Structure formats: C-alpha cells, structure tokens
A and B are shown apart, each in its own frame.
Chain A
Amino acid sequence: MEVTSQDFKKNAHIALHDAKLQRALGNLKAGFPGKRAAAIARLPEFDALRDQARDLKNHILAHLDLYLEEFENNVTAQGGTVHWCRTAEDARKTILEICRQQDAKTVTKGKSMVTEEIALNEYLEANGVTPVETDLGEYILQLRNDHPSHIVAPAIHLTLEDVAEAFHEHHQRPKSDDPAVLMQEAREMLRKQFVAADVGITGANFLIAETGSTIICTNEGNGDLTQTLPKTHIVVSSIEKVVPTLEDMTLFLRLLARSATGQEFTVYNTLSTGPRRTTDQDGPENFHVVLVDNGRSDMVGTELQEMLRCIRCSACMNHCPVYGAVGGQTYGWVYPGPMGSVLTPQMIGIENAGLLPNASTFCGKCEEVCPVRIPLPKLMRHWRDKEWEKHLTPGAARSGIGIWAFFAKRPALYRWLAQSSNLFLRLVGGKRGRVRKLPLAGGWTDYRDMPAPSGKTFMQQWQERK
C-alpha cells in the first residue's frame, strides 16, 4: 500500500471534515472502551494478570531465539515446515513459492495484519494468484480496494451505507442496507471461494513453542474454514508472537479479548498443529509457518524492545483521543494509533514517519490501558530523540526550542523574557483579559482565545513584596 504517513496533517484535515468518518469514529468511542471497562471490572485479578503478562513477555524476548527454535523443532516434528524470513520481500517470495508448488489459482485469507505489513495481496495478484479475504471487514475492504483503519476491526471507518454500496456494485444484487441480508450475501459469495481455494493463509495470535501449534482468535469462524478446507495452510506470523507453553497462551487469551472488545473470550480460538494426521477428520495436507522478522530483531536489546510485547489488542487506539479524532487511515500505513506511532517509524523509517510519534499529547491513556504495560509515550519520545539526533526535527521547531532553551538555561535572561512577554500580552489583551489574534501564534488563536496575564509576573511581584 502507498505510504502517506508524511501527509499525516493533510490526512488529518480531511478526516476531521469527513462527517461519515466522524460518525463511525463516534460509534467506536461509544463501543469498545465501555465494554472493556465492564469486562475488566468483572475480573479483579486483571491488573495482576497484566503484570504477569509483561514479565512473561520480557522473559520470552530475552530468550527469543530459544523459543523460536523450540517452536520450529516441534512444527517439524508434527510434519510442518517453518520458513524464516528476514525481510518482507523474503516473506512474499516464500509464500508465492509455496502457492506455485501447489499450482494455486486462488488463496483464501483470514485476517492478518502481518500480511498487510508485507503487502502480500498486491504481490500475489501481480503474480497471478488471486487472494480472497474472508474476514467480513477485510472482504469489504478488498471489494472497495481499501485498507484497514484498525487492527481488530479493520473496516471500522466505514458505515453500513458504504458496505451496502460496495456489495451492490460487486455482487450484482439488489441494494439492501439490512445487516442480516448483507451478511447472508457475503456468506454465499465466500462459501464458493472457501471450496475453490487451493491454499489458505491465516495469521497467528500466538505461536506455542512446546507443541509447535499456532492459534487464531476470531469472532466469525471464517479463519477455521480458511485453514481446514484448502490442501495447504500457510500461517504468516511475526517472530515476537511465540509463547513457551499452552498455559502461557491462556494468560494472554484472558487479556486479549477483554482489552480488545470487552469479550471474555473471542468466539473461535482455533489451534493448528501440523498437517492432517490419518486419524484426523479434516485439515490441510501441508502446513507451513512463515516467520517474518522485518526489523523486529533489530529492536531486541534496544529501548524499543518493549514494543515487542504488543499482543495487537487495539486498546491503545480505542482509547486514544488523537486516533478517535482522525481515524486509522490518517496514520498513512498499516499500524495506526499509539502502537503504530511506535512501530511504523521502525518499519518504514523515521524520516518517513516522524509526524506519527509527534502526534501525541503524551496524555498516557494508551499506557494506562495496554494489557502488557508498554510505555507507549516513552517510546514515542524515543523517536523524537532520534529525530533530534538526526536533525530531522522541522527547522522552525528546532530553532524555536533552541532559542527558548538558551533563555531557560540563563535565569536572569529568562526573567527578562517572561516579563517582556507578559507585558506584551497584557498590552494587546487590554481590558478584555484575552486576545483573539496574535501574530505567529495562529496555531493557537485560529481556534481559541489567548487569555492575557492578570498582572505583572509572579517573580516581579514577589520581588516587590519582599
């Protein structure tokens, strides 16, 4: 997908004036946060589980190589194959190669953000393999040639009307805006695809080292059909999703659904362990796991390592006031919201994504709700540090801070600056007590008044009283 993170401000402007999008975002805000709050209120040990999950993830990341090798050994022992892919390009080629071995014309796909990250669909299509998204949200997006705006609810930016239109156009059926009718229509269309597909591709929520299993957590059941009907199942997963044991997995499952949608559990939690055995009633004949690194191992051992704890629950974006104002597509690449503002610069370069980690007030709400306690504001600040070091901070901001710091490091001069600014604002504020327009402060006064100082500076008055 085309990267537009450099245009974050322009995207935001459009999003803020898009009435339909704003309605959709209003629904999101009214939905997920309240459901999450209710779900965790019913689980008194929620915070203790978060601590455990954080510590366990830290342990895993410290021994990532060991657990991944254990995972690979067990996948192999079960008759599957693990493919290690350092880059997105490696991963795309590997997946295409497997499809070609099967002579695949169409592949069905379960929801997977990693395949978005490696831009898999575009690549398969260009190479003669047709990918069919089977998650309802992703299916709608594919019809519209659109991209996810949210990591759990990918089509959250669309309204029912948008869906009705897309279906009408692509299904050649009478237009309906009854959700039940639309759902039925999608089912019928997809059923044919499930049966016809040669290969099924899914993501993974977790990889279980001790058994060599992968698990997907969904609410639609489409993933089950995607991975059991075709002859070949490819799991595409990033490397940090490995957990040591099934029991460890359950710890994360308890946190994941509650943090995401406020469910106690997702509806379908499906484990895949190797290809079909002779005693199995169904399942694929071939089982592949494509492990994608794509910059993640570079984060290990750095300040950004904490980001690898992320379990992709979406709580940070659901609660983020900036995401809530502008929506996910404004962020201009695959991962939106606070977690995206940390990950995106790592994956597409800080020089392309600098506006993202700056688009935060550091209100800290994301960190407050993150189930694995990722200090998202601190990590966004890390990117601002990197920008400053590399002289990527916009010139005006850099010199502004430079001049201000010059004064702040010299108390006597700083007093003088404060007094002069104070006097100036009092003069322009006059008797009204506030200013409606200020040169060079349009960012403020275009939208709000500037309250004027109520008198001389405190330091002046304090001196005079002494």
Chain B
Amino acid sequence: MANPRPRVGLFVTCLADMFRPEVAFASVKLLELAGFEVEVPERQTCCGQPAFNSGDRKDSAAIAQQTIEAFDGFEYVVGPSGSCIGMLHHYPELFAESDPWHQRALELKSRAFEITSFLALHLDMDKLSSSFSGKVTYHDSCSGLRELGIKKQPRVLLSKLPGVQICEMEEAETCCGFGGTFCVKYPEISNRMVGNKSDNIRATGADTLLAGDLGCLLNMVGKLKREGIEVQARHVVEVLADMVDTPAIGEAKGV
C-alpha cells in the first residue's frame, strides 16, 4: 500500500478568507495536485502581523501561540502570502530562548512555506495547465521577496503555462505602498507609492497584474480602478490553478 499522502495545513490568511476565497480554493487545488492532503485548521485566525508591527508584542505572542497550536501535527503549513508566512517566520523573536514556545516557534517556522515557493519545490510542473491567456506583469511583494527569497518561483511556475506572456514592469521590486496599517496611517505617502506602481504597471501594456499577496493586490487594484486603468488583477494561484472564470479582483460580477 502506498504511503498516506503528507498532510498540509492551509494557512488561509485573513484577506483571502474575507476578500478573495478563490485564492484559498486555488491553493487547495494546487496542493492536491502536488499530492498533498489539505486540511484547514479551524483554530487559525490572523498571523498577528498588525499587532507585531504596531509594537504590541503581548498580543502578537498570544496569537502566535494560537497559530502554533492550530498547526501542530501538520507536515507543512502553506499559505498564499509571503507577508503572512513571513510573519510566521518571525514568531521565534516573540519568545525568549529559554521559553519552550521559542522552540515550538522555530519548529513551526521550519515547516511554514509561501505557496509558490512550496509548489516550486514539490509540484511536478508538467501537471500545470491553465486556460488563461494574456500578457501579465508580476509585482514582487516585499516580504516574500526579501524575507523569503521569492522571485523566480512564481515566474518559473507561470512559464509552464503556454498562454502566459510575462512583461516585466520597471521597479517590480519596489514597494506598492500598502504596508498593512501604513496605508491608512500615512495615506498620502502610500498614495504616491501606489501611484508610481500603477504608472509602471500601465507602461508595460499588460492586461493582467499578478502578485502573490492580497494586501498589495487590493492596494494596487484600488488605485488602478480609481484611475480608470483597464488592467485586471489576480493572485498568481488563480492563474496557476486555472480558476480564471470568476471576475478579477474588484471587477463587477459578470451579467
């Protein structure tokens, strides 16, 4: 008898849960395609980053403990966001080295992966297929890029899809200005940053913007729409999982 399929706990992320369930469904589909058993632990909420970046270490630590417990026993923890998974990688900083939670946090960190980097390691890429067709441009989200080293992985995966033509934008690695609470604490500066981003997106002539983080995507979509720029935006897993029949982010429901 074959070994049972290894179990992955899906870290849904708040924004996928609330704004874009497709992203979580696409993640499940891709992980199953890669041969994993996917479960969605009930006790997960948020990764705690808003508290962590506001200086509230006590709540951050409490949320970290809850997350560590929720994902106990899974071989891997995978989520569709470099930012949230990056936060899971910060958990050890929240506990003194003498605290047993520190060890548990390190142990979670060793199992926690952002989805495109995880798929690049575990998925037989010949299995990918997608009906998507179009010119896309890819925004590298900061946390994924700089904390987790995610740059090539989504591009390698996309390169397996014959319908996808990538046109890189200028300053693809420059922050879009989202920054969690930054975008509402410093709205004018954030607006300038996302304005630069939407100019760079428009200049590529791409019809679709892809990225691996919904925070950045909501920010960029919001700006593109406000400026009347006709570019559609999706999380990269939607394209990889061939789930492109639903309207793009922020688009009206089809008639």
Contacts and interface: CB of A to CB of B under 8 A. Distances in A.
Interface string A446-457: 111111111111
B57 A453 contact: no
A384 B20 contact: no
Contacts of B189: 12, 16, 322, 325-326, 359
Nearest to A330: B189
Interface of B: 12, 14, 16-22, 24-25, 40, 42-46, 48, 50-57, 59, 62-63, 66, 142-143, 145-147, 173-175, 177-194, 196, 218-219, 221-223, 225-226, 246-247, 249-253
A362 B14 contact: no
Given A9-B186, A381-B55, A384-B54, A454 B252 contact: no
B225 A434 contact: yes
Interface string A348-376: 00000000001111111101100000000
Contacts of A422: 18-19
A428 B84 CA distance: 28
Contact of A418 (B14, B143, B177, B185): B14
Interface string A388-425: 11000100011001101101111100100010011001
Interface of A: 9, 12-13, 16, 321-322, 325-326, 358-365, 367-368, 381, 383-389, 393, 397-398, 401-402, 404-405, 407-411, 414, 418, 421-422, 425, 431-434, 436, 441-444, 446-459, 461-462
Contacts of A358: 182, 185-186
A455 B19 CA distance: 8
A448 B223 contact: yes
11 contacts: A322-B193, A361-B180, A362-B142, A384-B53, A408-B46, A433-B253, A442-B187, A444-B187, A447-B190, A451-B225, A453-B18
Nearest to B227: A448
B55 A385 contact: yes
Contacts of B147: 364
Contacts of A404: 50-51
A240 to B, nearest CB: 25
Question: What are the nearest 4 A-B pairs in CB distance?
Answer: A361-B179, A448-B222, A451-B250, A388-B55
A424 to B, nearest CB: 11
Nearest to B173: A365
A362 B179 contact: yes
B225 A449 contact: yes
